[in-house]
Structure 1
Amino acid sequence: MNHLVKKTILSLALASVSFAASAHRGWMLPSTGFVEKEEAWVTIDGAISEGLFEFDHMPLRMDGVTVTDPDGATTPATGAVLGKVRSTLDLRLPKDGTYRIAMVSNNVMGSYKLNGEEKRFRGTEQSVAKEIPAGATDVKKSTTHTRMETFVTANKLSTGALKPSGEGLELVPVTHPNDLRAGETAKFRFQLDGKPLPNFPFSLVPAGVKFRGTINEIRLTTDAKGEASFKLPEPNRYWMSAKYPVEQPKGPGEPGSRRYAYSATFEILPE
């Protein structure tokens, strides 16, 4: 399978995860959020599941994972193993500090007319640009930008990896994402293409849904500055999700429209 086909499959998978029924969620979960070892390693599990953090549906393809190191340098992560119900990626953390592990994609869908016949397309921005032939008319397309991420720290906290890219829907963790403790107050900011998102809703879901029998979703909203300060709930692993616009249109949306989705996993530790 060539690189372009792999990227197309990855983008389509991410888009379907983000905008499918909420019963199935895509996520990456590190074996720990904080490693205290001279030679630091972490294992990232990835899956698409009905039960949060359960391996009950299908693996998440992790071909497109990138790692931003404590100095802010971003490189592709290699060596992911695709299993039947989950993917696994072992990462060496050669520098002390915080790392951002992310999957980002742009999925495009739409249609065009050629010689009076309507044709539909779906793929990445790169593949679609090659697919639409010269002479095509009435081109309509909409784009879905998806970001999925998690954070891991080796030996000491740092902030170099936490700087936003200014593209798409992003979380700016004012409170360090690997320094979250139950009962303390955390502050997060959401932004879209580098601009704060005021009055923007997002949610947190704790692990253990299978054993509770209820989701226990925590719903939060940013203030006029695009920031949300809130008391951290009980210790657990949590899945955060948000989408923009909040009310998603059915189907591909209006021609030229853009939709955004964000998700992340965190650990909240005891006080």
Structure 2
Amino acid sequence: MNNKLKALSLACLVTAGFGVASVAQAHPRWVLPSHFTVSKEGGDWLSFDVTASHGTFVYDKPASIETTQVVMPDGRITYPNFTIRGKRRAIFDFFFEEEGTHKVQINQIPRYYTFYKVGRRDTEKRMEANKADRVTILPEKSRDVVTQVSYTRAESYVTVGKPSTKAMELTGKYLEMVPVTHPSDIVEGEPVTFQFFFNGKPQAGVTADITREGTLYRNHQEQIDVVSDKDGKITFTPEVAGRYLMKSKYKGMVENDPMYDRANVNVHLTFETLLQ
């Protein structure tokens, strides 16, 4: 098989693979702890549900938990115990005993998709390939070529005793959220501020929708929609106590990156709002 045929065959394969990946990522993933705080002396076990679902805390498809990490209060990373994968959700347990705030994160492996046009009719095509790989597999005379990275963080915070902030530090990669209002201090009727960063810099234009649990039992979603300002900050007020899911997204062009031209990145955060 000559090089051109090899390239075309690989392009067909990665295009087919894109469809499978799209199905897997069509549902937002989130992680929900059984508790957000631990006050028991000596620590306690917490359970976490992980699923991919359009509903707020409604189980649908079991999401992968192989990349689950627990960022400890001192910043070191460890891993969960007792993982189980079911038909509609995955479950893991972790024993929390060290004082301070822990970050529980399930970060997706970055995926790269290249979009392009070919033929007299400008037929739009796509394949799974980054900027470096696309050079050898793009069909001749491809036009309007753009490579996009897709990346999602599903995360939550658990505090044992006195709150801390070390686990919230940035990694400088893709979209990240830093709680300006500490997760342990979120109270009904009071404003909450979060700040978004893309590749380590404050990012304007991040869209976020925030929804309280129990949507199956009320007529309206009561969704809060906000957009980050020039400093990457959003401010909103949860009026009712309970568990909330925030789905935040940024999509935009990126300059001078060797792997991609455009980012499609997300942070899905679960948090608790306390009673006054």
Using structure 2 for the length normalisation, give the TM-score: 0.75
Out of 44, 47, 53, the residue aligned to residue 51 of structure 2 is 47
Q: Deviations over 1:173-202 (max 9, x none)?
A: 011112211012222111111111234331
Q: What is the match of residue 237 of structure 1? A: 243
Out of 138, 144, 165, the residue aligned to residue 150 of structure 2 is 144
Q: Deviations over 1:231-250 (max 9, x none)?
A: 33210111101111179xxx
Q: 2:38, 2:96 within 8 Å by CA — same for their partners in 1?
A: no
Q: 1:107 to 1:158 in 2, by over 3 A?
A: same
Q: Deviations over 1:209-239 (max 9, x none)?
A: 1111332210112233222233332101111
Q: Is structure 2 residue 255 aligned with structure 1 residue 257? A: no
Q: What is the match of residue 251 of structure 1? A: none
Within 5 Å, which residues of 2 pair with 1:182-221?
182-221=188-227
Q: Is structure 2 residue 120 aligned with structure 1 residue 107? A: no
Distance 1:35 1:220 in 2: 30
Within 5 Å, which residues of 2 pair with 1:114-125?
122=128
Q: 1:65 to 1:16 in 2, by over 3 A?
A: farther
Q: 1:64, 1:77 within 8 Å by CA — same for their partners in 2?
A: no
Q: Is structure 2 residue 164 aligned with structure 1 residue 154? A: no
Q: What is the match of residue 59 of structure 1? A: 62
Q: Provide the secondary structure at the position in 1 that maps to 2:102.
A: strand
Q: Provide the secondary structure at the position in 2 that maps to 1:79.
A: strand
Q: 1:185, 1:231 within 8 Å by CA — same for their partners in 2?
A: yes
Aligned length: 236
Q: Deviations over 1:94-142 (max 9, x none)?
A: 3111111111121123489xxxxxx97548x8xx98xx69x93538743
Q: What is the match of residue 172 of structure 1? A: 178
Q: 1:50 to 1:213 in 2, by over 3 A?
A: farther
Q: 1:242 to 1:160 in 2, by over 3 A?
A: same
Q: Provide the secondary structure at the position in 2 that maps to 1:46.
A: strand
Alpha-carbon RMSD: 3.0
Q: Provide the secondary structure at the position in 1 that maps to 2:217.
A: helix
Using structure 1 for the length normalisation, give the TM-score: 0.76
Q: 1:28, 1:44 within 8 Å by CA — same for their partners in 2?
A: yes
Q: Is structure 2 residue 274 aligned with structure 1 residue 269? A: yes
Q: 1:63, 1:78 within 8 Å by CA — same for their partners in 2?
A: no
Please identify runs of 4+ aligned residues in structure 1 that moved more than 4 A. Answer: 15-18
Distance 1:16 1:244 in 2: 20
Q: 1:25, 1:52 within 8 Å by CA — same for their partners in 2?
A: no
Q: 1:226 to 1:136 in 2, by over 3 A?
A: closer
Q: 1:17 to 1:228 in 2, by over 3 A?
A: farther
Distance 1:246 1:206 in 2: 28
> Any stretches of 5+ residues in structure 2 without a counterpart?
1-16, 117-124, 140-144, 254-259
Percent identity, aligned pairs only, is 30
Residues 72-81 or 185-194, more deviating? 72-81
> Any stretches of 5+ residues in structure 1 without a counterpart?
1-8, 113-118, 248-254
